[in-house]
Structure 1
Amino acid sequence: MPKITNPGSVSGLSRRTVLKAAGAGAALATMSGLPTRLLAADPLKVAAVYTVPVEQQWVSRIHKAANEARDRGDIEYTFSENTSNNDYERVMREYCEAGHKLILGEVFGVEDAARAVARDYPDVAFLMGSSFKPDESVPNFSPFDNYIQDASYLSGIIAGAMSKTKNIGMVGGYPIPEVNRLMHAFMAGVKQTAPDTKFQIAFIGSWFDPPKAKETAFAQIDAGADLLYAERFGVSDAAKERNVLAVGNVIDTQSDYPDTVVASALWHFEPTLEKAVAEVKAGTFKAEDYGVYSFMKNGGCSLAPLGTFEGKVPAEVMEKVAEAEKAIKDGTLTVEINDSEPKSN
């Protein structure tokens, strides 16, 4: 059963709790099946449904942005974690019935069910992680994704320079678009400083299985990799134990691996959430692709500070990174979005 974390309760919600109902002034009326305007001062009732623990990289960034918005008073926020695909639709419906007006989550394994829920609750806005595009027949459902290929490209430039064997291991969860595009962007960056690099690519078939990711990474190290792309938790642990380097993805874990994680591509969900909250409050939320708010030019991603590796990455490489970052932000460099499954070479 999923775990829901929040104060308050609503009778009839088995083993789940939700925020106390907002005052009448915060309630949203409906018009033409879409939310109408909410007073800017009123916090929006937001709920999130996660299939993994909130500590998991990808979900942690959504959770972080939502908590910050809650702390500012922009939203009320509750969430469930470890929700199984079989339970996902039911939890979504419970949140809708409890009066939440914006539902967040990741529906990669429950796409049809999630959109069916959105059709049944036209006065609720749904902002969901998805590999698919908006559908005008579901005007209150907008997909987002972590399009952080820009930052991944920059981390690859550094990785190519820091690998001595020019053999890099890459461990991902599943070969789906939001993973594939980041791997491709990383490899493109590597080729800017080490064009002859060999890539070992593996997928563990799970979003959260650190032991399996670690064992897969060990195998890549045994096959000659001296730097690992840590798309999943567990990879950096293998790198630390075997004294090789790692590049992080989505979050910055260098404080946990100060001698291992040389760089990280960070995802910032704040621009995505802020846009959605503003649209819901204004009564203008509609089906559109929110993926663009993860682009670097929109503040949705960045390269983490080098921290303990400051001065260890050659200056000329960091100059190349700075030039590429400037070009990405001013539009003169567009990092390719390649959603096809990457292969070892």
Structure 2
Amino acid sequence: MKAGAFFAGLAVIATTLLSIDAVPANAQDKKPYTIYLSNNFVGNDWRQQMLRSADIAVKKPPLAGRVDLKVEVVETTVQAQINSLNNIIRNKPDAIIIDAGSGEALNPTIQKACDAGILIIAFDQIVSAPCAYTMESDWGRAPRVEAEWLVKKLGGKGKILVDRGLAGAPISAQLQGGFEEVIKKYPGIEVVGYFNGDYALGPEQAGVASLLAAHPQVDAIFVQGYGAGAIKALQDAGRPIVPITGSPFNLTTTTCAQTQGAQCILAPNPAYLSAEALKLAVEILDGKKPAEKKILLRNAFLTTDPIASELFPDAAMQKIEVGKNAFPDMAPGLFLPVSPDWVEITPAEAAGAK
């Protein structure tokens, strides 16, 4: 999922450092803040893990006892989320964290909440309302680092396939655009085919398989979704395994770790964004505000072949290893990494294992 619809180094690096306003001495003595999580659908593994991550985080230090978390999940329509938010506003919580169904349509309702003194933090799928704080993965950086990595793996020349993601999704266009901005600087690299992976295994595998049938030479594949579907298409076609990009689902990290010759780089968009948003909400309510309202998370890329980025020298690379960030005995839809560095969320907890 890189869009959310839909990927060592777990530290959160914001675009600006948090201000050093002192936290009130009696912060721990206050009653728990009432915080709602507004989510517009649970139709994929990432969203389900996101909800679990929030629930787990508020039960462990440092958030234990600080948050009375209430979760509102609505059907996949913008109006349903607006109606739900209006009901939440009437309950006058301290804060609402929102995985939004629209970047624009929720703005009037969000402004209404802000006017009522309610803190708003939009995460993952964010909003443009000026009064809201936003928290998301750095989608400007991710495709450029992936493109740079592929260029280095190919030695600056080769024929590649490009995933357009989900038709009409702004994040898909952003990812494709960032990737191609880097690629076009290398005349030896030729894009020979496009497909729409739709952030799902079936369309990804089918799209790659169709293009492989038409192109006898494919040297790399830029995938916005899983990446594991592209590898399966290569295997089914009896073709060499080529470098691929993708998202760090457990299926993909495990496939990359266990497939001979696999070369992968996977862009992070951790499902624990919900936990990060809750932590930020508590800090703001305690009086410790960020210097700016837009916060970007820059987690480590997971890769079979760590290569230093020249475009972004601070971009962290974490090697894919079984038992560390690839778990063959766990759910394929588990999204990695599973835990920020300030609280322990185990892989089993994130996967919802009993």
Tell me how far 1:142 sits from its aligned partner: 3.0
- The one of the two structures with greater contact order (alpha-carbon pairs below 8 A, sep at least 6) is 2
Cα distance change on mapping 1:231 and 1:109 into 2, 3 Å: same
- Conserved 8 A contact 2:160-2:192: yes
- Aligned with 2:266 (options 264, 272, 280): 264
Tell me how far 1:73 sits from its aligned partner: 4.1
Equivalent residue letter for 1:229: F
Are residue 133 (structure 1) and residue 128 (structure 2) matched?
yes
2:172 maps to: 179
- Alignment RMSD, CA only? 4.0
1:72 maps to: 61
Tell me how far 1:161 sits from its aligned partner: 3.8
Tell me how far 1:263 sits from its aligned partner: 0.9
Distance 1:171 1:58 in 2: 22
- Aligned with 1:278 (options 283, 286, 289): 283
Distance 1:127 1:113 in 2: 13
Are residue 239 (structure 1) and residue 244 (structure 2) matched?
no
Tell me how far 1:56 sits from its aligned partner: 4.3
- Conserved 8 A contact 2:82-2:106: yes
Equivalent residue letter for 1:326: P
Uncovered stretches (5+) of structure 1, i.e. residues with no partner: 1-36, 295-299, 330-345
- Conserved 8 A contact 2:300-2:315: no
Tell me how far 1:157 sits from its aligned partner: 1.9
Are residue 222 (structure 1) and residue 213 (structure 2) matched?
yes
Tell me how far 1:96 sits from its aligned partner: 3.8
1:153 maps to: 144
Distance 2:210 2:68 in 1: 45
After superposition, residues 31-46 of structure 1 pair within 5 angstroms as: 40-41=27-28, 42=30, 43-46=32-35
Q: Report how many residues are paired.
A: 268
Tell me how far 1:226 sits from its aligned partner: 4.6
Tell me how far 1:195 sits from its aligned partner: 4.8
Cα distance change on mapping 1:272 and 1:87 into 2, 3 Å: closer
Distance 2:59 2:193 in 1: 42
Tell me how far 1:172 sits from its aligned partner: 0.8
- Conserved 8 A contact 1:249-1:266: yes
- Aligned with 1:87 (options 58, 71, 80): 80
Distance 2:57 2:188 in 1: 41
**Greater helix share, structure number:** 1
Distance 1:82 1:256 in 2: 34
- Conserved 8 A contact 1:49-1:92: yes
Tell me how far 1:302 sits from its aligned partner: 2.6
Tell me how far 1:62 sits from its aligned partner: 7.9
Cα distance change on mapping 1:262 and 1:322 into 2, 3 Å: same
Q: Residues 39-96 of structure 1, C-alpha deviation per residue, up to 9 Å, x if partnerless?
A: 5325433332333437544785686467435522423434345632142123323444
TM-score of the pair, normalised by structure 1: 0.60
Instruction: Give the % identical residues.
Output: 9
1:337 maps to: none
Distance 1:125 1:211 in 2: 40
Tell me how far 1:213 sits from its aligned partner: 3.8
